[in-house]
Amino acid sequence: MAKNISVTIKFWKQNGPKEKGHFDTHELKNIPDDTSFLEALDIMNEELIGEGKEPFVFDHDCREGICGMCSLYINGTPHGKTLRGATTCQLYMRKFKDGETITVEPWRSAGFPVIKDCMVDRSAFDKIIQAGGYTTIRTGQAQDANAILIPKEDADEAMDCASCIGCGACVAACKNGSAMLFVSSKVSQLALLPQGRVEAAKRVKAMVAKMDELGFGNCTNTRACEAVCPKNETIANIARLNREFIKAKLAD
């Protein structure tokens, strides 16, 4: 049975990438603890609108942990502390204590400028994928799907790497603002499959170069990224990216 709790939301307000931001606070009273955290923010916004104020802006969409849109830094952790790998939208009020103050901030990274409040611009991730995160094949008469057999273990591992939702929590958590976990997950998925091997060398070089160009930092193995990844991507991917990268460079 749900019980009700009251909390204080301390949330980040910022009008644009160049503007100075500040915290506002709002008291939420008697919220059923089976309410999701984003629903609690909905309630807060309803109350703000009721007072004639502008609502707090944050990104969200599917609210089932898969679209990668939601991106809040909650009490110092990207996506907050959930049971196991989960996104902001899968966080429920039962994870908070009655009377608690919950601090909500945007992803803070040079690669993700703030658009408004906690909504940030993550188009840098799209640019990295555009640099090479694909197999170059035409729509049309691809060969039969079973023509190349793929060991189950390889397919399963590729699937795990492919589970990345591109939310950017890894970048937000990293003291260097590195995008290595994101990039390595895509590189790994395609490196593990025969379909992706053909362009593997070209891909890893292009994606790493783009990542550097866009101002993401280096990886220093602090493992902060994997600790917060909602899809449990691991730094084994980063090790694989490094191997792929060295292999590609040696072949030059």
Residues 33-92 that bind another protein (CB under 8 A): 34-36, 38-39, 42-43, 46, 49-50, 52-55, 57, 59-69, 82-84, 86, 90, 92
Judged by CB under 8 A, does residue 230 bind another protein? no
Q: Is 199 exposed, middle or buried (0-12, 13-18, 19+ CB in 10 A)?
A: middle
Judged by CB under 8 A, does residue 252 bind another protein? no
**How distant, in Å, are the alpha carbons of 4, 70, 109, 225, 234 from that of 35?**
10, 16, 30, 28, 30
Q: Which is nearer to another protein, 22 or 175 (CB)?
A: 22
Query: Which residues, 99 to 158, sit near another protein by CB under 8 A?
Result: 115-116, 119, 121-123, 125-126, 129-146, 148-152, 155-156, 158
Give min distance, CB of 149 to another protein, in A: 3
Q: Which is nearer to another protein, 90 or 178 (CB)?
A: 90
Query: Which residues, 186 to 225, sit near another protein by CB under 8 A?
Result: 189-190, 193, 195-196
Give min distance, CB of 220 to another protein, in A: 27
Q: Is 95 exposed, middle or buried (0-12, 13-18, 19+ CB in 10 A)?
A: middle
Q: Which long-range contacts (CB under 8 A, 24 or more apart) does 49-56 make?
A: 56/11, 56/13, 56/24, 56/117, 56/118
Give min distance, CB of 159 to another protein, in A: 4
Give min distance, CB of 222 to another protein, in A: 26
